[in-house]
Each structure stands twice: as C-alpha cells, then as structure tokens.
Amino acid sequence: MNKDSEGNSDRSRIIKLLGNTATKERGFALLVSAYQGQLYWHIRKMVVSHDDAKDILQETFLRTWRNIDQVRDPSKLLSWLYRIAGNEACRFLEKKNKQNKRFVTLEEMLVSQLKTEPWIDQDEVLLKFQQSILTLPLKQRMAFNLRYFEEMPYEQIADIMETSPAAVKVSYHYAKKKVEAILKI
C-alpha cells in the first residue's frame, strides 16, 4: 500500500469516527495526533514565532472542532485543515500588523523575529532564504511554502487557497522568481 492510500485510509477512519457521536472525541484526538506536526510547520513558516505558531495551531483545532461536521470527504480533510490553519495564520498576521507600532511593514517585523527566534537555524544562507520568503505577499508565500516545502500538487494548493490551479501556478511562479532575485540564483 502506498503512502497516499494509507493516508486516505487513515482519513476515512477519522471521518467515520467523527461522524458518530459516541466516537467523535476519539476521532478528533486521532485527527490532532495525525496532523498537528504538519499544520504546526505550515503555520510556523507563515508567522515565524514558535509561540505564535503554537497559539495559532490551538485556534486552528478549536475552529476545526466547531466546524468538524462540515467535512465528510476523506480526500478533502487535509486540504480543509490546511485552509483553516492558513486562514488563522493570515488573521493573526493581519491583527499583528494593525498592532504593529515599531516596524514600518509586517515583513520587517517578521524578519526581525526570524533573526532573534531561538528555534530558527541561524545559518546565513538559510536565514537569507527565509527572509526572502517573508518578503512575499501572503498568498504568494502560502503558495510557495505549500509547493516548495510540502511538495503539494497545484490542485491541492488551489483547494486549500480556494482558487484555481492556474492562479496557484502563477503565484508560485512569481514567488519563486522574487526569491531567486533576492538570492541572486
């Protein structure tokens, strides 16, 4: 059995457990256990801070629990979770940007956090790569992260971002070109 069919089998089991009142909490515990790592890193790449990512992950799972009855298709579960996590990260960043008094832009604030975050590898090349990603607009950053780091197909990214695969390809292309220009590759 390949990895994708195993994942779909796991998602089917989780959906089945969530659909039954008697097993809903167990299904949710399995969902959290299965996806918290992936979602944490998805959020972390957006917000930089470990503590902020943990808080946003918690909000993601609260929102997931409140809306869990909306998802019935196991093949859509992962995209749905990534969409919630991405939306929560964007909401957090927009709120933080409004509260931002010290920095001129959200990107400057995130780059500053990146340089001081103890959980980030401070290798000069990796730091410059991460900084270049943080200069991207949020939608391009999300498309870039999902395609480059998660190696997701354009169709799945489109589902997460609620757009077309063609729009994702364009966002990824522009993001990649901007990162390359900053890194002078």
Which residue ranges does the chain devote to CATH 1.10.10.10? 121-185
Q: pLDDT (tens digit, 9 = 90+) per residue, 63-90?
A: 999 999 888 888 899 999 999 999 999 9
- pLDDT tens digit sequence for 176-185: 999 999 888 6
pLDDT at 2 over 50: no
| Contact indicator for 127, 120 with CB cutoff of 8 Å | yes
pLDDT of res. 126: 76
CATH no. for 121-185: 1.10.10.10
The architecture in CATH of the region 1-103 reads: Orthogonal Bundle (1.10)
- Alpha-carbon distance of 15 to 3, in angstroms, equals 18
Measured CA to CA, the distance from residue 103 to residue 112 in angstroms comes to 9
The pLDDT tens digits of the residues spanning 150-184 come to: 999 999 999 999 999 999 999 999 999 999 998 88
Which residue bears the tokens 């998602």? Answer: 11
Report residue 34 as tokens.
């299965």
Tracing tokens 């992962």 back to the chain, one arrives at: 78
Indicate left, alpha or beta for 6 from its phi (over 0: left) and psi (-120 to 50: alpha). Answer: alpha
Q: Which residues contact 17 (CB under 8 A, 6 or more apart)?
A: 23, 24, 26, 27, 30
67 secondary structure, DSSP code: T
pTM listed for this prediction? 0.83
Cα gap 16→113, rounded to integer Å:
41
Residues of the chain with CATH 1.10.1740.10: 1-103
d(CA 18, CA 14) in angstroms, rounded, equals: 6
Give the CA distances from residue 128 to residues 113, 119, 132, 139, 179, in Å, rounded to whole numbers and listed in that order.
Answer: 13, 16, 6, 20, 10
Reading the block at residue 46, the tokens are 């957006």
- 47, 53 contact by CB (below 8 A): yes
